[in-house]
Amino acid sequence: MKFSFRLTRFLEQRVNEIEQFYSSASKKQANASKSGSAVKDKEKHVPSMKKQQQEAALREAAAAKRMQELMRQFGTILRQITQHKWAWPFLQPVDVEGLGLHDYYEVIDKPMDFSTIKNQMEAKDGTGYKNVREICADVRLVFKNAMQYNEERSDVHVMAKTLMAKFEEKWLQLLPKVTEEEKRLEEEEAEAQLNMQLAEEAAHAKMARDLSNELYEVDMHLEELRDMVVQKCRKMSTEEKRKLGVALSRLSPEDLSTALEIVAQSNPGFQATAEEVDLDIDAQTESTLWRLKFFVKDTLEVQAKSSASMGATNNDNTNNHNSGNKNNINNANNKRKREICNAIAKTNKKNKKPAS
């Protein structure tokens, strides 16, 4: 029994996992359907999750190598700018205290200089620039800060404006390569996400198939166990069947409906919720009869305890006040009960042999 319980919990967890995956995947289906034919073609050759991860690592390494080459070319531009005769005011951080620039940090939000840019380009601890555009933004910031803080006619403002123009001219020469690389990265990322989604769907589809097979095997095993139990059950006597029919008539409408559902489980053709039910006790399997007997026994015990408890707590005045409503409810609830009981009685009478 412990093994069966653990197996059930394991299967439930796998079912939940698959349901959650397909629930989230269905939200993305609208976007994926736009390229449905392409998706179907790729599904035929979907790499495994492990293969996808390996390809992603290789792709990232190749992209990093290409970006390093772009940064090397950008470094060439940066050296040309910093070697200019007017670049010296921008090579190191501004000496705010030495020059007495008391309002510098009130005017400039983010100071920047070429030595800081160079250090960040050479950083190996992951704090460096991730792409060329980040470096370009800081180079522009160097000149913008100088032009913002210094008056338009001052030497530093003119030097910064001149060098910025030269930088923009050289940047335009490198920009097509940067744009091409960005477009390539975007396309590769989109394709990688699609392939990863297809790989996940394929993996979960396989999991669903395997789970279906396991559930089928469990069902077969349970069917074998049920057959073994039925074979070991003794046949119910005629008197026991009669008592069972009487006990069924004592059930509440709700419990009687549950009993009929038990009958329907082993008899697919039995309509438990039909308005008129013809229940033939003698036609039921032994396993159904014993299940009914145990259910009726437990239910009547609970019903008896409940009735005793209500009788002890309710006084006569309350009973008299509610008697009219109770009669109406009982009449409605007992209607279906009488129908079932009449069907049982009719069946017993039909199956009873005449005395010789």
Asked if 207 and 242 sit in the same domain, the reply is no
Out of 197, 213, 229, a domain closes at: 213
**pLDDT score, position 40:** 46
**pLDDT score, position 16:** 65
Asked if 242 and 174 sit in the same domain, the reply is no
**pLDDT score, position 62:** 85
Out of 213, 248, 264, a domain closes at: 213
Q: How far is CA 150 from CA 103, 138, 141, 144, 159, in A?
A: 12, 18, 14, 10, 11
Asked if 203 and 296 sit in the same domain, the reply is no
Tell whether 198 is covered by a domain. yes
With a threshold of 0.85, does the pTM exceed it? Answer: no
Asked if 197 and 243 sit in the same domain, the reply is no
End-to-end alpha carbon distance in the chain: 51
CATH number of residue 176's parent domain: 1.20.920.10
Asked if 343 and 199 sit in the same domain, the reply is no
Tell whether 16 is covered by a domain. no
Along the chain (356 residues), what's the average pLDDT of each consecutive run of 10 residues?
47 62 57 46 55 76 87 94 95 93 94 95 84 94 96 95 96 94 88 77 80 83 73 79 86 85 79 71 81 87 81 55 50 53 51 46
Residue 208 dihedral angles phi and psi, to the nearest 5°: -65, -40
Q: How far is CA 33 from CA 38, 42, 62, 186, in A?
A: 9, 13, 31, 20
> Taking the CB of residue 21, how many other CB atoms lie within 10 A of it?
17
C-alpha span between 116 and 91 (Å, rounded) = 9
CATH number of residue 253's parent domain: 1.20.1270
What secondary structure letter does DSSP report for 315?
-
Asked if 157 and 70 sit in the same domain, the reply is yes
Q: How many domains does the chain have?
A: 2
**pLDDT score, position 195:** 75
Asked if 244 and 189 sit in the same domain, the reply is no
Calculated CA dihedral for residues 285, 290, 291, 295, nearest 10 degrees: 140
**pLDDT score, position 272:** 65
Asked if 146 and 54 sit in the same domain, the reply is yes
Q: Please calculate the CA angle 161-166-171 and round it to the nearest 5 degrees.
A: 120
Tell whether 15 is covered by a domain. no
**pLDDT score, position 54:** 76
Domain interval for residue 209:
46-213
Asked if 196 and 250 sit in the same domain, the reply is no
Asked if 148 and 194 sit in the same domain, the reply is yes
Tell whether 181 is covered by a domain. yes
Residue 108 dihedral angles phi and psi, to the nearest 5°: -105, 120
Asked if 102 and 182 sit in the same domain, the reply is yes
